[in-house]
Amino acid sequence: MFWFFGPEARGLLAPPPGIEPAPPALEGICGKTRIAEVGGVPYLLPLVNKKKVYDLNKIAKEIQLPGAFVLGAGAGPFQTLGFNSEFMPVVQTESEHKPSVNGSYFAHVNSADGGCLLEKYSEKYHDFGFALLANLFASEGQPGKVIEVKAKRRTGKLNFVTCMRQTLEKHYGDKPVGMGGTFVIQKGKVKTHIMPAEFSSCPLNSDEDVNKWLRFYEMKAPLVCLPVFISRDPGFDLRLEHTHCFSHHGEGGHYHYDTTPDIVEYLGYFLPAEFLYRIDQPTETHSFGRD
């Protein structure tokens, strides 16, 4: 895997040519960067806790950044949709001077054929909710210097995000370093999953149980991905990496790894977070279901 770090200022949420940007099309991902982990997998597994629902506008205020531009990965707002889904937040939260703008997507399982259905949240719904868990990268949405990462051909077993996360861990050791941003899978295919529309009525007590419940897919490029990752857990029961993706050809979900290592191409833009916020941390926890 080859890595190139661009020193130039590159405000991105404008994907490469040929990919329509997801609204709100802000100038960048810079300014007062934060990572927030909200809830957690223990609110989904072994059995769902339906009391755990959240609002991105309120989360922005909790992380002391009202008006934040928020990207990331989470569980969809079943309280609004009426079913379970994968959530891709792309949101300009409300501030004193500006209203909220929701450019989010959600992916769910088609009950007719078991395929993927990807929808824009704002076309049907107008709140800013999500549920159970989320890993969020927030900023002022300003232009500025970012880290550009280009990669072609996967030669090892680790996925794109894990390679970056483990590199940070090796370099910084016990000091946790968290990053977020966006990357585009420009060529190739990837393994993804989508949670079923119905929560499991039977307890899911292991990764094997979870994998039998999830629906897995192979999805094709181009895919726009919204990663959040941290080099190590300083003791807050963190999910170390979480990435969801969406597209403009109707596919999206939770990213696992590419399935075409010889031809895959990645282009990403990332920033370290200045602060980490842990919100509504589960008191009872476990380690499965976090792949």
Q: What is the DSSP letter of 122?
A: G
pLDDT of residue 116: 97
Residue 125: band (very low, low, confident or very high) from pLDDT cuts 50, 70, 90: confident
Strands 253-258 and 189-194: antiparallel
Helix or strand (DSSP H, E) at 59 = helix 56-62
Question: What six digits make up the tokens of 8?
Answer: 């130039």
CATH class of the 5-279 domain in this structure? alpha beta
Higher pLDDT, 123 or 36: 36
pLDDT digits (tens, 9 = 90+) for 79-96: 999 999 999 999 999 998
> Does the structure show a pLDDT above 80 at 65?
yes
Q: Percentage of the chain with pLDDT > 70? A: 91
Residue 248: band (very low, low, confident or very high) from pLDDT cuts 50, 70, 90: very high
pLDDT digits (tens, 9 = 90+) for 4-17: 223 333 333 444 44
Mean pLDDT of 152-156: 96
Residue 127: band (very low, low, confident or very high) from pLDDT cuts 50, 70, 90: confident
pLDDT of residue 37: 98
> Which residues fall within 8 angstroms of residue 61, CB to CB, at 6 or more apart?
none
Mean pLDDT of 169-194: 97
**Mean pLDDT of the chain, nearest integer:** 91
Mean pLDDT of 51-57: 97
> Does the structure show a pLDDT above 70 at 40?
yes
Mean pLDDT of 216-223: 98
Question: Is the sign of the CA dihedral 170, 159, 245, 149 positive or negative?
Answer: positive
Residue 1: band (very low, low, confident or very high) from pLDDT cuts 50, 70, 90: very low
> Does the structure show a pLDDT above 70 at 25?
no
Q: What is the pTM of this model?
A: 0.91
pLDDT of residue 6: 33
Higher pLDDT, 126 or 279: 279
Residue 24: band (very low, low, confident or very high) from pLDDT cuts 50, 70, 90: low
Q: Are 138 and 65 in contact (CB under 8 A)?
A: yes
